[in-house]
Structure 1
Amino acid sequence: MKKAVKIIASAHYVPEHIVTNDDLSQLMETSDEWIQTHTGIKTRHFAIGENTSDMCVKVADKLLSEAQLSATDLDLIIVATITPDSLTPSTAARVQQKVGAAKAFSFDVSAACAGFVFALSTAEKFIRNGNYKRALVIAAETNSKMMDFKDRTSTVFFGDGAGGVLIEGSQDSADEMFIAEKLETRADAEVIHSGRIPPLDRVAAENYPSIDAFYQDGHAVFDFVTAVIPEHIEKLLHSAYLTPQNLDLLIPHQANLRLIERIAKQLRLPLSKFVTNIENNGNTSSAGIPIGLDMVLKQHGQHKLVLLTGFGAGLAYGSILLDLSHFRNEG
């Protein structure tokens, strides 16, 4: 029997270590003025001595505490990340072990900056079919460990962080929060890539695995987003008999404040309807959207129609429309 699906808790975490634009200017040819003018970023957080699963666990602990549940109440854990602890086991499996979710199953989702949207969509299907009751969906990125600190075109954008939600199935249709969604991919592996592993060119004793650092073609990303994402949003809303003007809030991927401003202009929406955290966190890849969602859900006062929109390597992009009008904020 299919169930309604609702969010019952939200949380986020950013590392304590703050890196300013001036700090980066000591490592590469850049400046606070240039970074703020071109990206809107003032600071970002870097994980020192913490890996992706460590940040996930901090979010998981907050989610369980807020929902007043134990880890054994979980059926599923999905982690969205492109900066895992390892290729295998999954970061989600490490989180499951660390929190003691003995009854759950777990796996990772890799969809870059759209990862949280893809992971939330996946978890929602598992819960809706009625076979599973509760799922943790966490997006976490330790972007700093994948940066080339000689590449100012990428490194100045990124920070580390994690965010997530706990979702639950309900027999009451009035609890439904998931209204509409659309996930898409335009295959282009060259615009953004990270962690590429080259094949062997020969069999030799000195062979040893190696991976490359994060790379993005910023101009191509900007062109792709401005050409595709506003239309993607409008088509999804049209399918639900809505327009952008019906939205209370839009939580986009925190790629670049100037890019968010352009999307707002194209959708003919005031920037005040866009939730941002990039100014102090930088681009946290998949984590930016759940960090923003937690910010919204922790506010006193309710928002009804909230759109989550992510876009990143793949090129993967997607949106989920939520009705948060009956989220119970116990804070």
Structure 2
Amino acid sequence: MTMGTKILAAQHYVPNTVVTNNQLAEVMETNDEWIVAHTGIKTRHFSMNGENTSDLATKAAQKTLAQANYAAKDVDLIIISTITPDAQTPATAAIVQAKLGATNAWAYDISTACAGFVFALSTADKFIKSGMYKSALVISAEVNTKMMDFTDRTAAVFFGDGAGAALLVADEQVNNIYAESLHTMGDGETIHSGRTYPITEIKTSNYPKTDAFFQEGRSVFEFATTTVPTHIQEFLTNAKLKAEDIDYFITHQANLRIIEKIAIELEQPMTKFCHNVEYYGNTSSAGIAMAFAELWNQNVDLKGKKLVLTGFGAGLSYGSILLEF
């Protein structure tokens, strides 16, 4: 019998510290009016009390398991998408596995930047539909602030910290994941973070160093507002659907102006586009996961509804996945 993938629960978590535009204006040359006009962002949450990426991921996962009344020991697989791991090794997913007490799960990270939740959902879906695994926790978690250069106002004003999680289970009668389209353009320059470099000579002063987050803002905007809408249209055509057939779109929460532009290109109302970037900022891979969790927990009947989740970011990686309930 063909196995389906059912989404059983979804939750999100953000750190307690809320940072306003005016607070950022105290440390860099910017102001609330400029940030809101160009990004739509009003506040964001910063992890400033010792919570690292694994902590945010663990709390989102705990809330998700509690919602589903599902024991951590019954989870088979944990996939975490992040570009801000606790460390290069071990995987943040391994740390989360221990914190959850998910002793029977194997765990690993993926890194496809702001497309991470879509890529991770796709990956978990394949494991479940293989028939070998009955459940998977998919978590996107980011502490972007630890990678920011706060002298770079073209990047630092956008980002916040947070995590979102979804529990996927095997089901013989229900399948929520119906179609996907994933792409990589092989661009390592437009967006990058945490670059490390090989040594040039043997000396005692050698010590690992990493670069702060960097993005070419204009190139990112053009990519997000041209390549991405075209991709969504082609994805829907291949799925024998039109934009008007979709009940909700959840795109990467890059900034509100980009989401508005995608809506215009698809000729769809903003009421169909879930967004949280105004009060969470750009949370990289966590943005879609958090927006999905918010929709999941609203008083909205998703039965019979179609959702398109579209991520795009460094790589340049982008992709969409179609959910039906």
User: What is residue 116 of structure 2 aligned with on the other side?
Assistant: 115
CA deviation string 1:212-257 (max 9, x = no partner): 0000001000111122111111111111110111110100000011
CA deviation string 1:181-221 (max 9, x = no partner): 00001111000000000111111111000000000001000
Alignment-mate amino acid for residue 265 of structure 1: I
Write the distance in 2 (CA, Å) between the matches of 1:178 and 1:103: 25
Alignment-mate amino acid for residue 288 of structure 1: G
Number of residue pairs the alignment of both structures matches: 322
Aligned positions of 1:186-265 closer than 5 A: 186-265=185-264
Write the distance in 2 (CA, Å) between the matches of 1:166 and 1:265: 32
* Runs of 4+ with >4 A deviation: none
> Secondary structure of the residue that 2:97 maps to in structure 1?
helix
Structure 1: gaps (5+ residues)? 325-331
Tell me how large the CA RMSD over aligned residues is.
0.7
CA deviation string 1:29-65 (max 9, x = no partner): 0000000000000000000110000001101111111
Tell me by how many angstroms 1:2 deviates: 3.7
Write the distance in 1 (CA, Å) between the matches of 2:204 and 2:14: 41
Write the distance in 1 (CA, Å) between the matches of 2:199 and 2:124: 37
User: What is residue 327 of structure 1 aligned with on the other side?
Assistant: none
CA deviation string 1:138-185 (max 9, x = no partner): 00000000000000000000000000100000111xx11111100001
> Secondary structure of the residue that 1:88 maps to in structure 2?
coil
TM-score, normalised via structure 1 length = 0.96
Write the distance in 2 (CA, Å) between the matches of 1:202 and 1:152: 35
CA deviation string 1:11-34 (max 9, x = no partner): 000110001000000010000000
User: What is residue 63 of structure 1 aligned with on the other side?
Assistant: 64
Structure 2: gaps (5+ residues)? none
Write the distance in 1 (CA, Å) between the matches of 2:272 and 2:150: 34
Q: Using the aligned pairs only, state the percent identity.
A: 55
Write the distance in 1 (CA, Å) between the matches of 2:242 and 2:203: 60
User: What is residue 106 of structure 2 aligned with on the other side?
Assistant: 105
User: What is residue 307 of structure 1 aligned with on the other side?
Assistant: 308
Write the distance in 1 (CA, Å) between the matches of 2:128 and 2:74: 13
Alignment-mate amino acid for residue 112 of structure 1: A
Aligned positions of 1:78-97 closer than 5 A: 78-97=79-98
User: What is residue 18 of structure 2 aligned with on the other side?
Assistant: 18
TM-score, normalised via structure 2 length = 0.98
> Secondary structure of the residue that 1:44 maps to in structure 2?
strand
Write the distance in 2 (CA, Å) between the matches of 1:301 and 1:293: 12
Write the distance in 1 (CA, Å) between the matches of 2:298 and 2:20: 27
Tell me by how many angstroms 1:312 deviates: 0.2
Write the distance in 1 (CA, Å) between the matches of 2:211 and 2:243: 39
User: What is residue 134 of structure 1 aligned with on the other side?
Assistant: 135
> Secondary structure of the residue that 2:123 maps to in structure 1?
helix
User: What is residue 55 of structure 2 aligned with on the other side?
Assistant: 54
Write the distance in 2 (CA, Å) between the matches of 1:179 and 1:236: 12
